[in-house]
Chains A and B, each alone.
Chain A
Amino acid sequence: MADSATETAPEIRPIVPHLKLGETRDQDRLFGSRCSNCNTLYVGPRLFCGKCSGQGPFTEEILSTEGEVWVYSIIHQATPYVKAPYIAAVVDLPEGVSVNTNIVDIEPEPENIKFGMKVRMYTEEVSEDKEGNKYVAYKFCPA
């Protein structure tokens, strides 16, 4: 039994629980969970509500692919497998939730990034583990 589990074919997986993969990369979407008791929307799956202490149920909602930069930082001292400098940011989505992300396709200099700047999400494979599973991450670029 252990053998059959280890012999499964490598998969393409989302790197975060709040990304839902489609048939093709242009169909990948971020999703949230809305508390049926207090209406609070969370990014990703959720079992309990940190605002109203409710136990759900939570309704899944697909989130917009366009948002605005709330704040950012330009990371020069990065973890070893990441190319630096890069832009880390918090992007607000029109549904009223925020996500952590990288902002790409801009030179990472403060004068190039504006608070409130409109950005668009896309996804791509970013890594592969020892079993050959591939991981897809989302990023934002200028809209």
Chain B
Amino acid sequence: MREVAIVGASMIKFGRYPDRDVAQLAAQAGLEALKDAGAGMKDVEALYSGNLYQTSGSGQRILQQMGQTGIPVVNVANACATGSTAFREAYFAVASGAYDMVIALGSEQMGKQGLLGSRGDPATSLEGRVGSYMMPAVFGMAGMEHMRTHGTSQEQFALASVKNHYHSTANPLAQYQKESPLDEVLNSRVIAYPNTLLMCCPTGDGAAATVICSAEKARQFTTQPIKVAASALTSDPFSDRDLTLPDINTLTRNAADIAYETAGVGPEDLDQVELHDCFATAELLHYENLGLCGDGEAGAHVASGAPWIGNKIPTKYEEDVAPYVDKSYSPKSKAVVNASGGLLSKGHPLGATGVANIAEIVFHLRGQAGDRQVENSKVGLAHVIGLCSACTIHVLQK
């Protein structure tokens, strides 16, 4: 296996594009990433295309827009980890020596489709009759498990929304760029307790792309190659309750172990993390799963200021956060979490998300993240989880 670098990255603004089709959205991201790399379709030897809802042939339709050079196309679907799994396949294709330069692209067009729609014949549907299987319920219950085990409160979970919405105001690519103080988060309508509307990510349309090549070839294209230091993918190992309530924790911990060992870094070495905050509850669970803090410390961690841009609570939110500050808590990791605004603000077009998280880290490692720049960022981690269940973690280094 040889060293692999990212030389091009792009993300289109997530949102709703009723007048464009998904191949056009994806092609825009792909062509922008190529331009960013200073490369062209003639340099690209394969396309790894992540898309969940329009999977079959979607990569080929993207090339009909980007340039039909006849290269191999691999269409990838892996739940919410679709884009990051496409990236991982692209990474291995280069690391193995099979290709020198490839594109990993994620795209999705969801329109106004939410994650709550009824499926199949309503007469035989279990949804709402024998529990709930929709994502808001699953992540609501995952948060309740943390509440049960560690006494975490709805307010502590809500602080993740306050933080990420605050971060989003500096990200022009985010679907929403609107701040939400704690009382606004808590007073928005409940979707699935403890998550309120402002604690759920929006769905929408989007695309993101990266151009990946061997470290050797990267020198021809850029003076700022971003090294892919680790790529980990796990599925959920057997546990008694997992088949009833998907366990989003164990597979993330397993992936983190692999990623840290491969990259030779630990959570204390990370400058920033883009993690899968599909719901505010998930963000706090993943602080612990990624080792940014100890078990049961997630509530104290978000209130400590550590995961906020600048590693401190902005003055205007000090009052909101004060009741949840644990003065005896000292953060283990000062990694800024979800400088992009996270899925909670940026949006979550399923297939695009995994590549977008990686692109965001690339922007910061190059110092090109504008007003949301994590100062002097050298090591970043991108985490994505999809049910049931896939977890990817990529560690990127300057």
Contacts and interface: CB of A to CB of B under 8 A. Distances in A.
Interface of A: 15-16, 40, 42-43, 50-51, 70-82, 84-86, 88-90, 92, 96-102, 110, 115, 126-130, 133, 135, 137-139
Nearest to A129: B123
Nearest to B281: A73
Contact of A77 (B130, B192, B238): B192
Given A16-B126, A42-B243, A115 B131 contact: no
A42 B242 CA distance: 11
B141 A82 contact: no
Given A15-B130, A75-B137, A135 B124 contact: yes
Given A73-B141, A127-B124, A98 B130 contact: no
Contact of A82 (B127, B136, B240): B127
A41 B122 CA distance: 30
Given A72-B144, A73-B140, A88-B137, A79 B125 contact: yes
Contacts of B189: 76-77
A79 B118 contact: yes
B190 A89 contact: no
B190 A76 contact: yes
Given A88-B132, A137-B126, 6 more contacts: A79-B116, A82-B129, A90-B131, A96-B240, A128-B123, A138-B130
**Per DSSP, are chain A's interface residues mostly helix, strand or loop, or mixed?**
strand
B121 interface: yes
B324 interface: no
A76 B191 contact: yes
B244 A43 contact: yes
Contacts of B121: 129
Contact of B191 (A77, A81, A90): A77
A88 B131 contact: yes
A93 B208 CA distance: 45
A118 to B, nearest CB: 16
Which of B117, B125, B144, B243 is most buried by chain A, counting CB atoms within 10 A of its CB? Answer: B144
A70 B131 CA distance: 13
Contacts of B126: 15-16, 100, 137
Nearest to A89: B131
Contacts of A70: 145, 148, 241, 245
Contact of B243 (A43, A115, A135): A43
Contacts of B363: none
Contacts of A110: 193-194
Contact of A127 (B129, B132, B144, B192): B129
Nearest to A72: B144
B70 interface: no
Contacts of A130: 123
A102 B129 contact: yes
A49 to B, nearest CB: 9
B133 interface: yes
B323 interface: no
Interface string B187-204: 001111110000000000
Nearest to A41: B240
Contacts of A135: 123-124
Nearest to A138: B130
A40 B238 CA distance: 11
Contacts of B193: 73-76, 110
Contacts of B132: 73, 75, 78, 88, 100
Contact of B128 (A71, A78, A90, A97): A78
B118 to A, nearest CB: 4
B77 to A, nearest CB: 22
Contact of B129 (A15, A71, A85): A15
B256 to A, nearest CB: 23
A108 to B, nearest CB: 9
B244 A99 contact: yes
A82 B148 contact: no
A99 B136 CA distance: 18
A127 B122 contact: yes
A9 B178 CA distance: 57
A80 B118 contact: yes
B124 A15 contact: yes
B190 A74 contact: yes
B190 A79 contact: no
Contacts of A78: 116, 128, 132
Contacts of A86: 128
12 contacts: A43-B243, A50-B238, A75-B128, A75-B192, A81-B128, A82-B127, A90-B141, A90-B245, A102-B128, A127-B123, A127-B124, A127-B129
